[in-house]
Amino acid sequence: MFAYTALPFSLAPQISFALFFLSILFATAAGVTAFLLLASGNLQNLQDQFDHRKKSHTLPIVADNGEILATKDELLFHIDILETKLKNKAAELEAWKGKLNKAEMEMQKLNNASGEVRRHYMKLKTDVAKTEDDCKEIQNQIDEFRRRQAEICPESADRRGHSCSVLSGSKGMSKIRSDTPPEAYGKGNIF
């Protein structure tokens, strides 16, 4: 194999001087080139050229339908179409919001009316129940008085006329014939 051999001691200073000289030469050349670019005004053109390359490497814009929009006019046209769609959707949204608010107000009115109807229904239901109870109580009173009348009136003719006249409290009732049944005098109050 190749063995690394050290350079003779006498060549080492010459090589290091050559490397030093080359590095100074490259640094000077770079400085002079930079000075000349700045002095000539081409540096701005160079920067613009690099910026243009960056801009030109942007990805193409693809529309919803798959069409590639390459020119400024195509982009503006597509933007106009999208703005028109946005205005239409915004108008549609406002219309739906209006309908939603109207429906909500109608529901609130129905809810209020339903509450009033419910309260009126409950009042009527309570009144009906109270009237039914009153009817039952009056019917029970009528039945009780008929039962008492039936107990008192079927006795003998003399006592019957006297008993019935006492119950009715009327002079006309004292002339009851003994052969007339108590039901003939009517249903209801005997007073």
Domain boundaries, the chain: 71-135
| Residue predicted with more confidence, 121 or 58 | 121
> What percent of the chain is predicted at pLDDT more than 70?
63
Per-residue exposure over 148-165, b if at least 16 CB sit within 10 Å of its own CB, e if not: ebeeebeeeeeebbebbb
The full length of the chain comes to: 191
Other CB atoms within a 10 A radius of the CB of residue 176 amount to: 20
pLDDT given for residue 3 in this prediction: 54
Judged against a pLDDT cut of 80, whether residue 162 lies above it is answered with: no
Rounded Cα distance, 79 and 73, in Å: 10
Q: pLDDT class for 173, splitting at 50, 70, 90?
A: very low
Q: Which residue has the higher pLDDT, 28 or 68?
A: 28
